[in-house]
A = this chain, B = another copy of it.
């Protein structure tokens, strides 16, 4: 038995986003309990030229929504990056989860061979669905998801692998 492009995308992004929701809830509780300005975490970066936590969360949702939409041949939804609290970021993740849940496996038939057109900094490139998912969307999704997690850990929020894998 092989794997469908649906199975290799939507449920995988879903698990990661559920883990991100757990991390956001713990971060929110952490600042509330210690009376820390939430911006101390929301704006935290691992290095000055890296994105802050809130942007890492936004980008993580973008790769999940955009990845599944493109593979299904649907226009990827565009979101304004306006979230400035843990609650608003959680709502964005919830919205991405709800979006992923609207897809059915049948929409991914032929997705491995589908031409995916990407525009980045004004340059357009075309890549097949399979390498797009496995070698671009998925590693980028995990990059920003893990970096968001790493920023919270670095700032003392108690998270574990069970949060990351959404198994707790």
Using a CB–CB cutoff of 8 Å, the interface residues on chain A facing chain B are 1-5, 7-8, 11-12, 15-16, 46-47, 50, 110, 112-113, 130, 134-136, 138-140, 142-143, 146-147, 149-150, 153-154, 156, 161, 164-165
- A–B pairs, 16, beta carbons within 8 Å: A1-B112, A1-B113, A3-B5, A3-B8, A7-B130, A12-B134, A12-B135, A12-B138, A46-B153, A138-B142, A140-B165, A142-B142, A142-B146, A143-B146, A143-B149, A146-B150
Chain B residues contacting A16 (CB-CB under 8 Å) are 139
User: Which of A1, A7, A12, A165: most chain B Cβ within 10 A?
Assistant: A1
Tallying the copies of this chain within the complex gives: 2
Query: How many angstroms from the CA of A79 to the CA of B123 in the assembled complex?
Result: 44
A143 and B142: CB pair below 8 A?
A: yes
A112 and B50: CB pair below 8 A?
A: no
Query: How many angstroms from the CA of A7 to the CA of B138 in the assembled complex?
Result: 14
Q: Which of B2, B50, B153 meets A50, CB within 8 Å? A: B153
B135 and A15: CB pair below 8 A?
A: yes
Query: How many angstroms from the CA of A16 to the CA of B112 in the assembled complex?
Result: 20
Q: How far is the CB of A75 from chain B (nearest CB, A)?
A: 23
Chain B residues contacting A164 (CB-CB under 8 Å) are 139, 143
Q: Which of B50, B143, B156 meets A47, CB within 8 Å? A: B156
Given the known interface contacts A2-B112, A12-B138, A47-B156, the answer about A143 and B161 at a Cβ–Cβ threshold of 8 Å is yes
Query: How many angstroms from the CA of A140 to the CA of B110 in the assembled complex?
Result: 28
Q: How far is the CB of A49 from chain B (nearest CB, A)?
A: 9
